[in-house]
Amino acid sequence: MNSWPQIFLPPLDDYVFPQLNLLDSNRGLVKASTSQNFSIYVCGITPYDSTHLGHAATYLAFDLINRYQLLAKHKVDFIENVTDVDDPLLERAKRDNQDWQTLAQEQIDLFKSDMSALRIIPPKKLVKVTESFDLIEKFITQLSDRGFLYKIEEDYYFSVGDFLEDLPMSVDQAKVIFQQRGGHPERIGKKHPLDPVIWLANQEGDPGWSSKFGFGRPGWHVECTAIACHYLDEESCSCPHYLDRQKYVPDCLSIDSDWGEKFNWLPTSCAYRLLYEGKSLHEWHPLISGDKNSVHLAGISVRGRTYRDNEITQDQLFEHVINWVE
């Protein structure tokens, strides 16, 4: 989905920007990464009514962070979603006897005009949930394959039992907030009151989509996570499923230490090749520096150089054949 028009940001070349400090309500004051690449994911609106000052406060806050990092010469990867199918939207559409998709689009257009009027720097990608069902289903499948999901009637829930150590409040306090935000902590059959619904079985009269989890739609708790993980993976430059990669790509390469001369086709900076040739690893290698980020700081990684296969057409492939690996 197209975002709103780009905003001109005058450079401040003569100013040295200190490292950005952010206040985390759980951890206190934290320093932002010193990497030249900075990622921001902002949970966007559910488009069932006009945006208000509360929305403006959220987007202005993130816009200040975005502007600061851009002026400090960081590359900012800014992604934002729009939850264009959810209970508040469907309920409002039924109340007003209006098509839910028409209502959603009207409010999205209004939101974009408000953001433009506030001169908010637009995201690199503004992503609708309804345009993201394939990637959301894949993400839910990964959770299911790892044993995190369980079923109540025809709905699927995520089990939070192993992830409560860092909860910044008591469970009772969290239950109150969870209830306010549609979490249904008291539903019979849940393993834990804070378990969120990941896939909702279709209710009569509501829109739904076919999936391996039945006909329905994703819960809003998983939508942002799936979209963020999909669009921001390029920042880590690492495989999110390395240990079980053959499960997803059966012919994914496995490198053996006894390859011998077959190492010669690998880049000259490759650790496997360097060790085979009896050479030392570069100082930026994480095994030497002790810091995974050192590869990015040295400009050796593929960060900022890759495109997803769904972002280009087949006849554009040759435009992206690399020639910078030695």
Considering the domain architecture, whether residues 217 and 279 belong to the same structural domain is answered as no
Strands across the sheet with 125-128, in order? 37-42, 75-82, 125-128
**Domain membership flag for residue 203:** yes
| CATH code of 93's domain | 3.40.50.620
Q: How far is CA 245 from CA 254, 271, 272, 308, 323, in A?
A: 10, 20, 19, 17, 26
Q: Please tell me whether residues 118 and 2 are part of one structural domain.
A: yes
Q: What is the pLDDT of residues 122-170, one digit of tens each?
A: 998 899 999 999 999 999 998 998 899 999 999 999 999 888 887 878 8
Q: Are 10 and 105 members of one domain?
A: yes
Q: Are residues 70 and 33 part of one domain?
A: yes
With b for 16 or more beta-carbon neighbours within 10 A and e for fewer, the 43-82 pattern comes to ebbbbbeebeeebbeebeebbebbbbbbebebebbbbbbb
Into how many domains does the chain fold? 3
**Average per-residue pLDDT for the chain:** 85
Residue 69 inside a domain? The answer is yes
Confirm whether 236 is domain-assigned. no
Position 111 in a domain: yes
Burial label, 226 (beta-carbon count in 10 A; 0-12, 13-18, 19+)? buried
What does the pLDDT look like over 164-203, one tens digit per residue? 887 878 899 999 988 888 788 999 999 999 999 999 999 8
> Region 24-36: what's the mean pLDDT?
78
* pTM over 0.75, yes/no: no
Could you report the per-residue pLDDT of 86-111, keeping only the tens digit for each?
Answer: 989 999 999 999 999 999 999 999 99
- Residue where a domain stops, chosen among 127, 150, 177: 127
Which residue among 108, 127, 146 closes a domain?
127
Assess if residue 241 is contained within a domain. no
**Is residue 89 included in any domain, yes or no?**
yes
Give residue-wise pLDDT tens across range 294-306: 887 777 777 666 6
Question: Is the same domain home to 69 and 171?
Answer: no
End position of a domain, from candidates 60, 95, 127 = 127
Say if residue 60 is in the same domain as residue 106: yes
Cα 67 from Cα 270, distance rounded (Å) = 36
Residue 96 sits in the same domain as residue 188: no
Q: Does residue 6 fall inside a structural domain?
A: yes
Indicate the burial class of 129 (C-beta count within 10 angstroms; 0-12, 13-18, 19 or more). Answer: buried
The answer to whether the CB of 84 falls within 8 A of the CB of 47 is yes
Whether residue 99 is found in the same domain as residue 137 = no
Same domain, 89 and 12: yes
Is it the case that residue 246 has pLDDT exceeding 70? no
**What is the residue range of 92's domain?**
1-127
Q: pLDDT tens-digit profile of 248-257?
A: 556 667 777 6
Residues 15 and 116 in one domain: yes
Look at residue 235 and tell me whether its pLDDT is greater than 90: no
Same domain, 84 and 10: yes
Residues 91, 12: one domain? Answer: yes
Q: Which helix (H) or strand (E) element contains residue 306?
A: none
Residue 21, in any domain of the structure: yes
